[in-house]
Structure 1
Amino acid sequence: MGKLRQFAIEFDEMNDVFEPGEFVKGHVVVDLAEKIKIKGVWLLFHGQSEVEWEHGSTDDDSITYKSVETYFKQELTLFGTAREQSSQGDAAVLPAGRHVFPFHYQLPADGLPCPFEGEHGYVRYIITATIDRPWKLYRTMKTSFTVLEKEDENSREDFISTHPPDLCRATTTPGCLCCESGPVELQVQPDRTIYRPGDVIVIRGTVTNNSNVDVTSVEARLVQIATFHGDHETTAVFSRIKTKTKEAKKVVQQVQICGCKRGESLTFSVDKGAALRVPPIPPSALRFCRIIDLEYRLDVVPYLEGAYSYDLKTQIPVKIGPYRRHPHNSAHPPCAAPPAAPGPPVYTIGPAVITQPTSVVPSAPDLDLREYNLVMDGL
């Protein structure tokens, strides 16, 4: 579309992180070198999770397991006619110049999991802008945004009452039968059992090396275990849905701790590297998503000279909670006052704001609150 100089989705105040119930605010920019005829400018808000993987050794016996959850799906008409009416109405003229179409969209107040990207599935929140021209293909632009889980009273109580887990021990004796060697003993205890993104896991413990090899280093890893739940509809006479799970592990953060020589001991401390900062990751359980489960654990693994000990490690379950506070660092997140009674989310749009106009452009029409059953590629 050579006449289109710019087509972009921009968030107000460069903010693309929100909490449930907040308004997603921004504008769509359409900059034209010359006037064009269009049927509509549409904006689709879509929150969805999807799981999919292939099971089987060959293409002939391969089975696809798949599940989808939709949390919201709503389209706004910023200019022209609504999508389902575009085949009936006439095209409107959008003059040359830079056109700015503001939008507001209120997220549902509950039931939104945190975004997640995994090996066999995801949770995503997408905005898709579309320009529809007569006798032309769609021109679309996509951008993503983040929805953070709100901290509830129960999670706050968990953090107040959290305490260190039990001391975890592991022992191995390196070497072979012809080499006499004493054991290497590992004892590990993190300072808490529950953490938030940005918190530091302080690792307490010791390595007692009575062997005849050096402990070159100790590695601490924060491991994410994702469990995906997929469905497959059988083609038998009496069809039924088969549900299968698939697990994927990923190291999301790791640090190296000092080692110790043979016959010596090492006591973990922060100055020796025994501290691991929790990165920005989704909370445990991935609340409100029924097709993806998340767990976390702290693995501590000593490395012995000659790579003798693959079995010397500790695995301690830990819990990751939601973010400590809203990303805007404000006591009250910027959202509208709640309605007097529960009801559907509120969707509003402002008038189109035009710069460098060459003709009068109508404001965006009033929003129709019906939900459109649209399927967009890539969502």
Structure 2
Amino acid sequence: MGLKECVITLDNNWNTYYPGQTVNGKADFTFDKPKKVRGISVKFKGVAEVKWTTTESIRGTDGKSKNMSIDNTGSEEYFSISYYLLGNKSGNDIEIPEGTHSYPFTCVLPPTLPSSFEGEFGFVRYTVKVTLDRPWKFDQETKMAFTVTSHLDLNSLPEYRNPIHMQMEKSFCCCWCKTGPLSVDVRLPVTGYCSGQTIPLDVNCENNSGVGVQDIIIQLIKFVTFRCTSPISGTKRVVVVISEHKLGSIDGHEAKNIQKILEIPPLPPSNLVNCGLIDLEYKIHVDCVVSGMHMNLEDVALITLGTVPLVGFQPPPPDGQTTNSLPDVPQSQQSSESPLLSSQPYPQSNQMNVASYPVQQSPASFPVQNAPYPPQGSPVGYPPQTMPYPPQGLPYPMPAAPALYPPAAPALYPPQTGIYPANTSPSAPMPENPYTAYPGMVQPVFKESQFSTQNIHDSTDNQHTMISGNQVFSPRYPTYGFVPK
């Protein structure tokens, strides 16, 4: 059999990152007998894809009409970085001994990425794939998805603090008489919210007509527009009800004031900035259902879902809960930094047997740039175990060694000089913790969305590609969850 298992592990509990952050991790291979390979490679990729099928009627050469299915597709690639962790494509075969072997990897995410998204007809998805490159045989691949969340700070624009006021009014005709007006006012305190928060609703209904109101339905709705580019440009819109309240009936010549809240589950932030194939909006929809043959009263208002909440705005908690917001991890594991910005260096392989390089004290943690010695009987390409590895005075492993960098590092990597990672890199600036700008702000939990995918395979995978971890992938988004007292 050879390869028994490959497990990919990333360096935070949520497998969630911000654009510009460094993703660190390791691939643990377990072999039940020695294995010959050309090398082991890793590939990071960020893509958006849309696809849906339409049916068109065409006339054949026999003059008869028949239906034809047409795939409407579109794709965008945001970045793709691959390099060898061990060996290379054109190098000599390497024999990996029986047992478990760890290979650390790292990748700097580009600074302008759209948030992860999983929808009915498309997705924005980020994956890491580790490949066992075998000579004259099919490659063995292991893949996993992770979440990228692009920041949307609601304090950045004053319009996110604007209140929303929806006014609906209608008079009804009965024979030759006109009734008094039915007036419905719905107020929201602000325009910008975050996942986990609640939306306070203040509804005032004055029914001065003789026509009864059967129900007032208020919904939080997600509007998604998918855009295809082949065979021709086109769009497809999907409307999803996230949450709703039915406020009940109001008789004629009756007035009511009703206060309710809509809860916001973990959702991607509005707009999907930097994605050209998927548009995302959230709206509050009000439907006043009247009795008889009369038209209903309807109105809709656009709201914005961000990742950093409005300072000074505290929405009410869900019924029976407090306004305290805490991460869903033990207190001992909480850090003064963002949960995504670990303060501990990534654990290294047990096989590492050399002095550590200094680790940069930065918002994200980084693996120490040393490669492990293999057991006795080292494969070709490793320096002798009597020789310091890497040689003294060199900040990176020698080209002959199985380095984390390819011989010519991709442009998105910081330069191979000095302490790794570099203090600055124009193509991938280190992100600042957005929450430190607002002292006292409770940091979010990163919770799975209800919108997931059963399969992260794509056209570049082969039939032997395995999935590391859960088969079902659900992106995680910053969520300001409430907990009981």
TM over 0.5: yes
Shift of 1:243: 2.5
Q: Distance between the aligned counterparts of 1:310 and 1:5, measured in 2?
A: 65
Q: Does 1:43 align with 2:42?
A: yes
Residue of structure 2 equivalent to 1:108: 110
After TM superposition, what 4+ stretches of structure 1 lie above 6 angstroms from structure 2? 180-183, 211-214, 335-338
Instruction: Report SS of the residue matched to 1:364.
Output: coil
Q: Do 1:188 and 1:314's aligned partners in 2 also have CA atoms closer than 8 Å? A: no
Residue of structure 2 equivalent to 1:157: 156
Higher relative contact order (CA 8 A, sep 6+): 1
Q: Do 2:169 and 2:181's aligned partners in 1 also have CA atoms closer than 8 Å? A: no
Residue of structure 1 equivalent to 2:480: none
Q: Does 1:276 align with 2:262?
A: yes
Q: Distance between the aligned counterparts of 1:329 and 1:282, measured in 2?
A: 24
Q: What's the C-alpha RMSD, in Å, of the aligned pairs?
A: 3.8
Q: Does 1:250 align with 2:240?
A: yes
Q: Distance between the aligned counterparts of 1:279 and 1:323, measured in 2?
A: 15
Q: Residue deviations 1:268-303, cap 9 Å, x none?
A: 21xxxx111222222222111122212221012345
- Taking the TM superposition and a 5 Å limit, the aligned residue runs for 1:229-240 are 229-232=227-230
- Taking the TM superposition and a 5 Å limit, the aligned residue runs for 1:184-333 are 185-209=183-207, 217-232=215-230, 242-257=232-247, 259-260=249-250, 264-269=254-259, 274-302=260-288, 311-324=296-309, 330-331=336-337
User: Structure 1: which 5+ residue stretches go unaligned?
Assistant: 234-241, 339-346
Instruction: Report SS of the residue matched to 2:233.
Output: strand
Q: Residue deviations 1:277-335, cap 9 Å, x none?
A: 222222222111122212221012345689x777333211212223449x987557749
Q: Distance between the aligned counterparts of 1:290 and 1:172, measured in 2?
A: 44
Q: Residue deviations 1:153-196, cap 9 Å, x none?
A: xx52325762212332154869x98xx99875432122212222
Q: Do 1:95 and 1:358's aligned partners in 2 also have CA atoms closer than 8 Å? A: no
Residue of structure 1 equivalent to 2:445: none
Residue of structure 1 equivalent to 2:98: 96
Q: Do 2:188 and 2:199's aligned partners in 1 also have CA atoms closer than 8 Å? A: yes
Q: Judging changes above 3 Å, is the alpha-carbon distance between structure 1 residues 160 and 194 closer, same or farther for their aligned structure 2 residues?
A: same
Q: Distance between the aligned counterparts of 2:138 and 2:294, measured in 1?
A: 60
Q: Distance between the aligned counterparts of 1:65 and 1:132, measured in 2?
A: 34
User: Structure 2: which 5+ residue stretches go unaligned?
Assistant: 58-65, 311-326, 328-333, 343-359, 383-400, 412-457, 466-485
Give 1:320's aligned amino acid.
Answer: L
Q: Distance between the aligned counterparts of 2:28 and 2:7, measured in 1?
A: 5
Q: Distance between the aligned counterparts of 2:12 and 2:71, measured in 1?
A: 42
Q: Do 1:206 and 1:267's aligned partners in 2 also have CA atoms closer than 8 Å? A: yes
Instruction: Report SS of the residue matched to 1:284.
Output: coil
Q: Judging changes above 3 Å, is the alpha-carbon distance between structure 1 residues 135 and 319 closer, same or farther for their aligned structure 2 residues?
A: same
- Taking the TM superposition and a 5 Å limit, the aligned residue runs for 1:140-155 are 140-151=141-152, 155=154
Number of aligned residues: 343
Residue of structure 1 equivalent to 2:392: none
Q: Residue deviations 1:228-264, cap 9 Å, x none?
A: 222235xxxxxxxx43222221122334445545654
Give 2:150's aligned amino acid.
Answer: E
* Aligned-pair identity (%): 27
Q: Distance between the aligned counterparts of 1:367 and 1:173, measured in 2?
A: 74
1:71 corresponds, among 51, 73, 78, to 78
Shift of 1:75: 0.9
Which has a greater percent of strand? Answer: 1
Q: Do 1:223 and 1:296's aligned partners in 2 also have CA atoms closer than 8 Å? A: yes
